[in-house]
A and B are shown apart, each in its own frame.
Chain A
Amino acid sequence: MNNDTVQITGRNRIVLWISLVVALLFGSGGMNIAYAADAGVGSDSVEARIAPIGRVQIEGQEPIPENVVSKTEGEEKELIAAPRPSRGDYPDIGVSSRAVVWVLAQMHLFFAALVLAVPLFVLVIELMGFKTGDERYDDMAHEFMKISLTGFSITAIFGGSLALALFVLYPDLMGYMMRVFGAQWLVYAGLFFLESFFLYTYYYGWKAMRYGNLKWVHLTLGLLLNASGMTIMVLSNSWATFMMAPSGVNEVGAVIGNIWEVMKGPLWNPINLHRFIANIAFGGAVVGAYAAFKFLSTSDPAKRAHYDWMGYTSNFIAILAFLPLPFAGYWLMAEIYAYSQQMGITAMGGILAWLFIVQAVLIGTILLAGNFYLWSGMSRTEGSVRYQPLIKYIAFVLVICFLTWVTPHTLMLSASEIAELGGSHHHILGPLGIMPAKNIAVNLMLVVTFLSFQLYRRSDKIATVSWAKAGNALLVAIYVVAMVNIIFLGVYYGYFTNTVYKVGSSVAQVGSTLVVIIAGIVIDSLMFRNAKTLPSHWGRIPDRSQYALFALPIAFTWLMGLMGYVRSSVKTHWHVYTVMKDNSPDNFIPTIGYAGNMITIVTVLFLLFVLFMFWIANLSATKQSKPVGALEGGAG
């Protein structure tokens, strides 16, 4: 390793730490601390935090007046209720306003997810390259940034178009949102300038700050880029969660709290976490497709080796981020139910429930594709023959769990079919349609996916520690007991006791899965320290494996579109749940077929833009050869 790369003087170390602190202050962490200091965060009870607000009339009590313009005692500030637009207040442009906003919002979110995620793992890869001295990491990190650079412009274009469309098509709603969030919009706009500054200095300064202490400056720029990007994300998340579960306003939507109280609704942090993890998985999947595209389009062994490695790294990022994602989703749904059971039931027990079956198909596709890629990648090393016999068992578990997960509880049947079946539930398959069966399936799928991942990682290594046998015995025991525990908890508490146990035991199932993942990482990292390494042949992988890398972003994109539709639809006929009604012509949950078409359109549109992004990335590396005439000393 070059000594220049690791020598940091005491003064520079102080500068680095100051930079880190500044970065954290820019990020949500610092903001939380600042707000906590003046708002007394933590002083309110959980009940108060999640108590539903809005125009809810309790039987036997006086109805709440709807258009209150009043002054509270001792306060100068006027309380202005949320507007109540009539049908005529919504501009008619000849096409569905909702459809226009839907496409623009979804495209903006797809690209925003991509450009927020890529710098996150780019920073980690760059740091790995710096610490190990392996310049391949640095080159790969730079290439990842190059791919996503066009994405920043596309995100901004769709963001601007979305804002314009919202102000034109939903003026009352946007007027209200502007009033509620006030100066936060300016902070949001200011953060764009910061993010752009850090983005361009980070990307264009890459070669200028590649070694020694300057590399720390470059890493700090990357950290600040991520901090500003993450802050933008959590700020905009607060608008979406305010519309789902408003806080800081009274029953009629008049603002009674400060901006922090408006932002910290019960769904804010679950959405923050869910989007943070999902963005990383999504970003990894998209850049993986780029690597696959480059791998398939070249026959140069060196380039194939590079893009094979890049594809592997992307898949690694996507799958590793994907593993905890269902748990973040569970937390979000649990908070939705805690906030409003009606909203939860709309999502998972009503018309939208069917979408969770489609979701299962898509997640199953992601896991099957991710596993298939790992199994194919085992051919890179001879050491994998030790583990290949296990693949068929993993595939068996995956397929059985996939089929269980996609089994619906109720079926769309005609009267005669119901009569023939003896009811709307199949007597054998019916029990597989409820959550305990799904929980078993999803947890087992995650456990065996981690097993595939672990076997892949072990393929090119032979442990040399004396306790290797005991370590393996412990690991086998953890896998077996965890899987038995997941099945036991699901069957016993899911089918034989009351509902509270059913919900409670799902947390223990998640705990079992996490124990497998954490124990697997810890045991392997200790066991394979100073291990004998077998040669790995990057580029030696079947071409068909690359199609798994194409399947991942398509499934991820469709899945994001689908769940975005669910998240937005649970508000039913409200712009802002319980405080501002939607009186537009589109104030109903669209049918699944219509939504399916819309989601497919935005998915295809996104993929076309991604192809454009890849093309631009390629174009920047293409050099036109000098015309023959020019070589001879003149243009002709």
Chain B
Amino acid sequence: MDDKDQMGTTTTMLATVAAFVLVLLAFYGLDHFIMAIQGLPLNLDLSPAG
């Protein structure tokens, strides 16, 4: 693999990782928002809301 291909692969990898991080954060925010507007905090400790 020459340097150009190597750079292209690295860029694609970085773009993919960045896309996944971005989308994960977006969906976490979406879950938070939708549960919050229903008065349900997004708890992650497996305990029911009081």
Chain A interface, number of residues (Cβ within 8 angstroms): 25
Q: In the bound complex, what is the Cα–Cα distance between A512 and B18 (angstroms)? A: 19
Please tell me which stretch of A5-13, A238-246, A428-436, A503-511 contacts chain B, meaning at least 4 of its Cβ atoms lie within 8 angstroms of it.
Answer: A503-511
Which of A473, A477, A478, A508 interacts with B12 by CB under 8 Å? A473
Whether B22 sits at the interface, judged by CB under 8 Å, is yes
Complex contact B31–A501 (CB within 8 A): no
Whether A485 sits at the interface, judged by CB under 8 Å, is yes
Complex contact A497–B30 (CB within 8 A): no
Most buried by B among A473, A476, A496, A501: A473
Q: How many A-B residue pairs have CB under 8 A?
A: 64
Q: In the bound complex, what is the Cα–Cα distance between A635 and B16 (angstroms)? A: 79
Q: What residue in chain A is nearest B36 (Cβ atoms)? A: A504
Q: List, in ascending order, chain A residues with CB within 8 A of B7's CB.
A: none
Q: Answer whether A512 and B16 are a contact pair too, CB < 8 Å, given A474-B23, A496-B46, A497-B48.
A: no
Q: Nearest chain A CB to B27's CB is how many angstroms away?
A: 5
Complex contact A511–B30 (CB within 8 A): yes
Whether A470 sits at the interface, judged by CB under 8 Å, is yes
8 Å CB contacts to A: which residues of B5-28? Answer: 11-12, 15-16, 18-20, 22-24, 26-27
Q: Nearest chain B CB to A1's CB is how many angstroms away?
A: 39
Complex contact A500–B40 (CB within 8 A): yes
Q: List, in ascending order, chain A residues with CB within 8 A of B23's CB.
A: 474, 477-478, 481
Complex contact A473–B38 (CB within 8 A): no
Interface string of A474-487 (1 = CB under 8 A from B): 10111011100100
Whether B1 sits at the interface, judged by CB under 8 Å, is no
Q: Nearest chain B CB to A499's CB is how many angstroms away?
A: 9
Q: In the bound complex, what is the Cα–Cα distance between A478 and B43 (angstroms)? A: 23
Q: List, in ascending order, chain B residues with CB within 8 A of A498's CB.
A: 48-49
Q: List, in ascending order, chain B residues with CB within 8 A of A477's CB.
A: 16, 19-20, 22-24
Q: Nearest chain B CB to A498's CB is how many angstroms away?
A: 4
Q: In the bound complex, what is the Cα–Cα distance between A474 and B25 (angstroms)? A: 13
Whether A469 sits at the interface, judged by CB under 8 Å, is yes
Complex contact B27–A482 (CB within 8 A): yes
Q: Nearest chain A CB to B34's CB is how many angstroms away?
A: 4
Q: What residue in chain B is nearest A488 (Cβ atoms)? A: B31
Complex contact B40–A476 (CB within 8 A): no
Interface size class of B (residues with CB under 8 A): 20 to 34
Which of A474, A476, A480, A497 interacts with B46 by CB under 8 Å? A497
Q: List, in ascending order, chain A residues with CB within 8 A of B15's CB.
A: 469-470, 473
Whether A325 sits at the interface, judged by CB under 8 Å, is no
Whether A515 sits at the interface, judged by CB under 8 Å, is yes
Complex contact A481–B12 (CB within 8 A): no
Q: List, in ascending order, chain B residues with CB within 8 A of A352's CB.
A: none
Complex contact A504–B20 (CB within 8 A): no
Q: Nearest chain B CB to A49's CB is how many angstroms away?
A: 18
Q: Answer whether A504 and B48 are a contact pair too, CB < 8 Å, given A477-B20, A511-B30, A512-B27.
A: no
Complex contact A512–B38 (CB within 8 A): no
Q: What residue in chain B is nearest A492 (Cβ atoms)? A: B46
Complex contact A476–B19 (CB within 8 A): yes
Complex contact A485–B19 (CB within 8 A): no
Complex contact A508–B34 (CB within 8 A): yes
Q: Nearest chain A CB to B38's CB is how many angstroms away?
A: 5
Q: What residue in chain B is nearest A514 (Cβ atoms)? A: B30
Q: In the bound complex, what is the Cα–Cα distance between A498 and B47 (angstroms)? A: 9
Q: List, in ascending order, chain A residues with CB within 8 A of B22's CB.
A: 474, 477
Q: In the bound complex, what is the Cα–Cα distance between A485 and B28 (angstroms)? A: 9
8 Å CB contacts to B: which residues of A500-540? Answer: 500-501, 504-505, 507-508, 511-512, 515
Q: What residue in chain B is nearest A498 (Cβ atoms)? A: B48
Complex contact B38–A507 (CB within 8 A): yes
Which of A476, A480, A492, A508 interacts with B30 by CB under 8 Å? A508
Most buried by A among B18, B22, B27, B48: B27
Pairs across A and B, CB under 8 Å, 5 listed: A473-B16, A473-B18, A476-B16, A477-B19, A477-B22
Known: A473-B12, A481-B23, A504-B40. 16 other contacts (CB 8 A): A469-B11, A470-B15, A470-B19, A474-B19, A480-B20, A489-B31, A496-B46, A497-B46, A497-B49, A498-B48, A504-B35, A505-B35, A507-B38, A508-B30, A511-B30, A512-B30
**A: which residues have CB within 8 A of B?**
469-470, 473-474, 476-478, 480-482, 485, 489, 492, 496-498, 500-501, 504-505, 507-508, 511-512, 515
